[in-house]
Structure 1
Amino acid sequence: MFSKAFRVKSNTAIKGSDRRKLRTDVATAFPTLSNEQLSELIPNREELNIVKLYTHKGDAVTVYANNRNPVLFEVEKALYVTVYTLWSYPDLLPAFSTWPPVLQKLAAGADLMLPGVMVPSCGLPQVQQGTVCAITLVGNRAPVAVGIAAMSTGEMLAAGMKGKGFTVLHSYTDHLWGFGDKSSPPTIAPLVAEPTELESTDDDDKDEEGHKPTSDLAIAPALQMDIGNLSLQEGDGCARLMEEEEPGENGAEEMAEDITEVQLEVEDGRTPQERMDELLHQCFFHALKCKVKKSELPLLTSTFLRNHMFSCCPEGQQLDIKKSSYKKLSKFLQHMQQQKIVQVKELNKGVESIVDIDWKHSDIKSFIVPEAPTAQESKSEDGEQRYHPPEIVPLYGVSNKMAPLFQESGHKKGSILSSSDVRDIIISYVKINELVDETNKNFVKVNPILCDCLLDKSEKDEILKLKWDHLISRCLEQMQPYHQVTFFGQEPIVRKGNLHPIDITIAQRSSNKKVTIVKNLELYGLDPQLVANTLQQKVQASATVNPLPGAKDRVQVQIQGNQINHLAKLLLEEYQLPRKYIQGLQKAPKLSRKK
């Protein structure tokens, strides 16, 4: 859930009533907490903040932070604890152990599969499907992840410890952990003895007479696991000990990769080779549709792979043609040539180039470009940071006139809210004060507070009811405009007023010459000098950067001629800015039609 960066909507100090309600909810959700532990987790006087955020998938999450560290988070009215809390109360949740190399996969967003769960001699904790559980590493009882059991303990054992075990919500080193002080897990000794070193040799595992090794932690033979080499057999579906190789660090990494591969295969039913074939096709069509330009042809196949296909690989995945059914790029391109998508020629011995591309081919036209940012799109070929359009959210401040209406919800003058927050507060106010019209529920009765806040003097004696949409639109009009701008990889910035659009105008100079002037590029994170240089190369015309009259530390870009068409292509297509934030595009010269 927090494997990628999230967007913070608000961060406010908790109110006394909310603090008391939270303590009651925590006591209900975690009944094993004593009153003393509950007071430590939710103190009466120490700073406790409510952080509302949206995950990269759009899920709304409420996080409760104590001294900056997130201690609880709430998703769909269900409370969960963070690893920071579990480090203080390691026995709060039933715990399942896994191997250290698996942690990296969990932090990247993978769920925990049952082949990666270590079965102790005392047996697994008894849980039901949907139970919130802690995930620890072998040799340390400090939890490193929080997940939800995908099946009961009995079902896990009946399935031969094969399949998806836990849906991981949060883990050590993910972005929710990074929201706190980024401390490391403490070392907490296990309740039962575990091997301090994960070693397995012929002498240790089995002697010549076939006796099992003596250890405080005995694992059932059908579930024996060697961290050096994990091999899942279809016959028993469990981890078997491979005695031929001695384990080491590389073996541990291979085990984690094997677990991930098993997870993916269980989830979609495809082999690793089939998934690599799909990734290869995705990167190929993505590169043809968005990266390669006609002016680049002929294009060396090695350059095409290195500069275009690799940059289209989604984050968290790695394109490896050797693991596909084609094995070689040349064989894959031959297949694409047979489909008449590209034309490949051998210029010299062993040197091939793409000489032609059919961009009108149905496979290219029907390909849908993934919306998620790719692994290398944030950087250009020369290593410079690519431009990412900012995320812009309109906000509304409670004005002095509107303060009485928002007083019941605990918001004072100057409180900044989103449009959905305003809507929820208004709806709640109307329902609490029973203002919905009994004869027509599409209307709301105007009480004295609504009258003072929303109506003009001339309307106070005439308007007794308002439609729901008129009521909310009037509320938004009476509030102070704010806006929040979030640039890629940075904290959100909230400013007063509406965001000024990028302003494009045409000015007349001496000798009836026209120039194009562009303002407000800085507000959208664009470098005016870089924009000027880019336009100068595209249109082969002089472009300069001058101070903006009447504005301190602001500049404007000036280009010879009417270059609005080129600006529109640059801002809308390359920088992917929404059209509503660009003003003046209608002044572009009409392109002459070729006869």
Structure 2
Amino acid sequence: MFTKPFRVKSNTVIKGSDRRKLRADVSAAYPSLSADQLNELVPNKEELNIVKIYAHKGEAVTLYVLQKCPAFFQLEKRLYPTVYTLWRYPDMLPALTTWPQVVQKLIGGADLMLPGVVVSCTGLPDVLKGDCCAVTVKSNRAPMAVGTAALSSSEMISSGMKGKGVNVLHTYMDQLWAFGDKTAPPTIPTADTSVQVEGGMEGVDCGGGEEEVMKCEGEETEGQCGSAAVQMELPCQNLQDLGLGEREEKEETVETEEGAEETQGEEDSSSPQEQMDSLLFQCFLHALKSKLKKSELPLLTSTFLRKHMAPCCPRGKHLDIKKSSFKKLSKFLQCMQREHSLLRVKELTKGVDSIVEVDWKNPELRSFCVPVDWEPAEEAVEAEGSGEVSYQPPEITPLYGVTSRLEPLFQEAHKKKGAVLQASEVRTIVTDYVKTNELVHETNKSYVNINPVLCDCLLEKSEYQDVEVLKWDDLFSRTLSRMQACHQLQFPGKAPVVRKGQVEPIDISVASRGSNKKVTIIKNLEGFGLDPLVVAETLQHRVQASYVLHDVPGAKDRQLVQIQGSQVQHVGKLLIEQYRLPRKYIQGLDKAPKPGKKK
């Protein structure tokens, strides 16, 4: 369902009533979840958005996105967990097991066929037709796909394990997974490794169509499951590509010195979680000491992480709060406030924390020294995912096209109708034409005599009898004004693009909606190489307001951004300061409210 890119219709912050309704729906759909697990999936204060999308076949789907990661998707009033949620709670759904190679076909859009199902000693999970279920791989319980059962468990067995088993809706590495933080699946070992393969399975057919998944060859087991286990050889290449299953460790004989072994042992003594905690604390102190300025306070905690802590991460290391013992930025900052008294965090906006105060005289902060060998990473790590991307504005060059009326003037320069020139090239061609035809005035060199060609090209009919000479500046300005306006966009690292007409500026306007509510509308972002979705998400985090994307009528592949409130100042600041677009190409900045006393 999500094998191809989908279109985002709207992205709004969830309301309190919708949050409570979602918690009730999740509890009703998945009663096995405990109260603590339910609070983690639908927290009270964590960032939770409702994203409405259209799949590539036109299905309307609602996503519930928790901290930039889709947690659930709703289709036809039914709630399904994503693989991100199932990796946290693998026992949330009944699961059918398959081989690692089969997942490649599922990712391509195929459904799970019963000949590719691995039946464990305990048999198939108890499912009814239409029940929501997951798909795992042998040797790893982390679900790789989510779908609905095509048959009940008893019908699967009675059919001889032939036919379709699961109608797959969402898989690891599809577009819904890519909408999140794109983490790889964890390795969750299975309790029982012996398997019994039902049905005649002949080889692994890697060349099958999308709707038929592989069949695996094996010996049929007789009697109890524990008496004989099926031995199957699986290609290692598929396992390495997907990062699934158990990887065979190759023994290598390497001669090392005793001192090197001791050093390695000391480095490995601390767990990965402790190492991430240490790195997190180092980047935190580094950011406070050398990055954060007092004038920036109060500052959103998410902005502090993205723009201050992430750039302090040493080259070659990855800052990931989820791999630390804190798991969340809010818990880490609470620890820094409670145990170290380094800063004070306050909820200035409902559900949004900000750093309001820093103790610059704290002994730990004052004694911290930036590592001598520290070098900034080439690319800052976005630990929380900000939606902002590296952008370089295009170089815009005005151009002029030769029209049929001016073609005789440019004929000597071998420029035909439709030729595109810069202003300096037009000036040179006109100057050469005047000098070649000896049209410079005999007594006053600042004037040019008008010959029949210049008369037809540059003069109006009412001027034919009266105007005999023109000044040089007037000659050039008349020539440029009678040429077709064009412009060239040169994006860094890309071939230049020439377009007809003047540069269409980005238009910012404020409109009123129901109950006299204001909304800000932004048009023509695509003309400057900006993605409306990225701009909308960036603004959403800056102003904490919901946005909606609308298709522009009559314009193919064009969308406008509508964001709640009068946000002209914030939009202008984003486009001018972050995206570095010239002010002259932004229309509507004068509609921003003037600072002053409120009446």
- Indicate the structure whose relative CO is greater, using CA pairs within 8 Å and at least 6 residues apart: 2
- Normalised by the shorter chain, which TM-score bucket? 0.3 to 0.5
Decide which structure has the larger Cα Rg and report it. Answer: 2
- Calculate the TM-score normalised by the size of structure 1: 0.40
TM superposition score normalised by structure 2: 0.40
